[in-house]
Amino acid sequence: MTVDTETITDLIETEIPDAVAHVSMPRVHDHEEEDAHFGVVVVSPAFAGESLVDQHQRVYDAVGDHMTRSVHALEIKTYTPDAYAEHGDGRLTDDLRAAGLAPEE
């Protein structure tokens, strides 16, 4: 049995400082969701100055033991707030504004 998207969102937003996350389930391989793939978009000022590998490692660390027990795969996109404003898809803009993380326009 797999973990749900809300749980993954909560784990990420709790473990990564000032993070805003969106988690989706783009692929489910079987009816029991045992091979579920999750898509994760995470925006946090904590990513500033970190390599992409380090940013992704933070996400894996936040998901913790679920990565070895109940998550089959994560497709991860990470951004600082400024990078998201420039390159993101806009889906998290309202959440970033509410969190005080959206860059001034």
Please tell me the distance from the alpha carbon of residue 42 to that of residue 35, in angstroms, as a whole number.
22
Q: What is the mean pLDDT of residues 35-63?
A: 94
Position 30 pLDDT exceeds 90: no
pLDDT, residue 40, reads 96
Q: Can you give the CATH number for the domain in which 88 is found?
A: 3.30.300.90
Higher pLDDT, 35 or 8: 8
Q: Which residues contact 79 (CB under 8 A, 6 or more apart)?
A: 41, 42, 43, 47, 87, 88
In a domain, 63, yes or no: yes
Domain total in the chain: 1
Position 53 pLDDT exceeds 60: yes
Contact status, residue 74 vs residue 5, Cβ threshold 8 Å: no
Per the structure, the complete domain to which residue 72 belongs is given by 5-97
Does this model's pTM top 0.85? Answer: yes
Please tell me the distance from the alpha carbon of residue 73 to that of residue 86, in angstroms, as a whole number.
27
